[in-house]
Amino acid sequence: MRAPLGNNDRNYGAIEVVNKISSNEFDGSDLTILRVTAHFVSQALREAEDITQMEGEKF
């Protein structure tokens, strides 16, 4: 199961999970958690990219 990292204008890759600790298969709640996590990681990557760009403009 995987979820994309990024948004409409930028793609950073994806988060993929392959093994679940329990013997159960992944379900809808697992997908929701993965998507929420991917969303927050995407935001952090975008903010880091923006900060790096701003720091480069200072010089």
**For residue range 31-57, what is the model confidence (pLDDT) as tens digits?**
999 999 999 999 999 999 889 888 887
The rounded distance, in Å, linking the Cα atoms of 46 and 10 is 8
Question: What would the 3-class secondary structure string for 1-25 be?
Answer: CEEEEECCCCEEEEEECCCCCCCCC
**For residue range 20-34, what is the model confidence (pLDDT) as tens digits?**
888 789 999 999 999
Q: CA dihedral in degrees (36, 9, 50, 17; nearest 10)? A: 30
b/e 17-26 (16+ beta carbons within 10 angstroms → b): eeeeeeeeee
pLDDT, position 58: 64
